[in-house]
């Protein structure tokens, strides 16, 4: 059965019309899901009983099941979601300083294959639909107290957002609208491995979305070892597209840089990075590597991290180190899904007597 969030307005309207219902029902239904926090048709008490029955026979109000819900001591919530076809994705609610930030996924898995990232270890299975992207926001918002609302969105969960741009934009449109979730574009950050043509398209939308680019290295040689897409798309093409984004939107670009011990974390790397970004309206977000079981990487020592930061600052670059949130619940992208898949595989093996 299809979830209502994935049914286009026109289609829903004609379905309702065929059942003698006025067009305003579309808005009414959307309001229940987006603002009224309804998770079933029964809860939509101002709809005629017979209509609720018909809806129940045809559609699901929401289409995703919560497979696991973990809460960390710092109030970070993580949901492992089971989609209708059984696939698993993750999303996270991060709460600090009055902000309620949703971190959402755009694909099942990821096709970019960054070597340090848990999401891409098994490639990409499929794009999420606009409804599935939107439902992550609704599910996370429904965790907040009744008067609470999401203030920010970071598209930094599983998947490469710009590889699923149409569906993402459709979902963000609803998230941003006043009769949707009301989250302003300036509070929405889209993070990409660096797909220049799509960055340019984003620049031309006339929206105020924030762009974050995953640089991870100060030159193509180092980047090639950890971000395989570098072979096709070198840093210069990515930076040129990001510059264009800044020219068109006036929005400062954030460059993300995962710090991996002895791979890209030396003072020389920092110096080269500062050189690359000098003259650009850029901000650097350093992310010390989050452990992924089975991967041969480590975070830098505190000393090396500080030296890296100091060197960037000396070069006049604005820099922040990303704080670790919800580490005890595998909050980094793709990790919970991975451990869950592993548990399932083990359970299956037990069931079939293979362990």
The binding site for ligand SAH (CB under 6 A) comprises 112, 114, 116-117, 156, 160, 191-193, 214, 256, 258, 287, 289-290, 292, 332-333
Smallest gap from Cβ 93 to ligand SAH, in A, equals 16
| Residues contacting 135, CB < 8 A, separation 6+ | 3, 5, 62, 63, 64, 81
In terms of CB distance, is 59 or 289 closer to ligand SAH?
Answer: 289
Determine the Cα–Cα distance for residues 152 and 144; give it in Å rounded to an integer.
Answer: 13
**Distance in Å, CB of 337 to ligand SAH, minimum:** 13
Q: Report the nearest approach of ligand SAH to the CB of residue 289 (Å).
A: 5
Do the beta carbons of residue 27 and residue 9 sit within 8 Å?
no
CB of 263 to ligand SAH, least distance (A): 12
* Closest separation in Å from C-beta 211 to ligand SAH: 10
Closer residue to ligand SAH in complex, CB, 44/199: 199
**Please, are residues 189 and 228 in contact by the beta-carbon 8 Å criterion?**
no
Residue with smaller CB distance to ligand SAH, 102 or 114: 114
Active site residue 333: yes
Contact yes or no for 140/173 (Cβ under 8 A): no
Active site residue: 10, 50, 90, 173, which one?
90
Question: Of the two residues 4 and 241, which places its CB atom closer to ligand SAH in the complex?
Answer: 241
Q: In the complex, what is the shortest distance from the CB of residue 128 to ligand SAH, in angstroms, rounded to a whole number?
A: 13
Q: Which lies closer to ligand SAH via its Cβ, residue 256 or residue 311?
A: 256
The interaxial angle of helices 196-203 and 165-176, nearest 10 deg, is 30
Give the whole-angstrom CA distance, residue 63 versus residue 3. Answer: 5
Q: Identify whether 90 is a catalytic site residue.
A: yes
**Given 50, 103, 333, 344, the catalytic residue:** 333
Instruction: Choose between 34 and 168: whose C-beta lies nearer to ligand SAH.
Output: 168
The catalytic residues are 90, 333
């Amino acid at each position: 059965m299809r979830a209502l969030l994935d049914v286009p307005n026109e289609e829903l309207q004609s379905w309702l019309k065929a059942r003698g219902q006025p067009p305003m029902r579309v808005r009414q239904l959307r309001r229940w899901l987006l603002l009224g926090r309804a998770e079933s048709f029964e809860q939509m008490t101002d709809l005629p009983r017979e209509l609720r029955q018909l809806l129940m026979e045809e559609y699901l109000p929401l289409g995703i099941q919560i497979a696991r819900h973990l809460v960390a001591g710092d109030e970070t919530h993580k949901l492992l979601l089971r989609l209708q076809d059984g696939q698993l994705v993750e999303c996270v609610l991060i709460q600090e300083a009055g902000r309620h930030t949703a971190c959402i996924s755009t694909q099942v898995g990821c096709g970019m294959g960054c070597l340090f990232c848990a999401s891409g270890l098994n490639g990409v299975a499929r794009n999420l639909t606009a409804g599935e992207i939107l439902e992550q926001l609704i599910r996370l918002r429904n965790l907040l107290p009744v008067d609470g609302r999401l203030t920010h969105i970071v598209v930094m969960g599983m998947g490469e957002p710009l590889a699923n741009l149409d569906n993402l934009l459709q979902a963000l449109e609803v998230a941003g609208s006043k009769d949707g979730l009301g989250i302003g574009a300036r509070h929405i950050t889209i993070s990409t491995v660096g797909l220049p043509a799509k960055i340019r398209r984003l620049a031309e939308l006339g929206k105020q979305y924030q762009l974050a680019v995953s640089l991870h290295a100060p030159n193509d040689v180092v980047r090639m070892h950890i971000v395989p897409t570098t072979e096709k798309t070198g840093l210069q093409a990515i930076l040129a597209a990001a510059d264009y984004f800044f020219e068109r939107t006036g929005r400062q670009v954030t460059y993300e840089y995962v710090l991996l011990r002895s791979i890209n974390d030396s003072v020389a790397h920092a110096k080269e990075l500062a050189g690359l970004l000098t003259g650009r309206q850029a901000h650097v977000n350093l992310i010390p590597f989050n452990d992924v079981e089975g991967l041969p990487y480590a975070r830098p020592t505190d000393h090396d991290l500080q030296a890296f930061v100091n060197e960037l600052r000396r070069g006049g670059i604005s820099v922040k180190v990303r704080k670790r949130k919800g580490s005890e619940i595998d909050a980094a992208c793709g990790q919970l899904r991975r451990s869950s898949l592993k548990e399932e595989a083990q359970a299956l093996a037990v069931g079939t007597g293979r362990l």
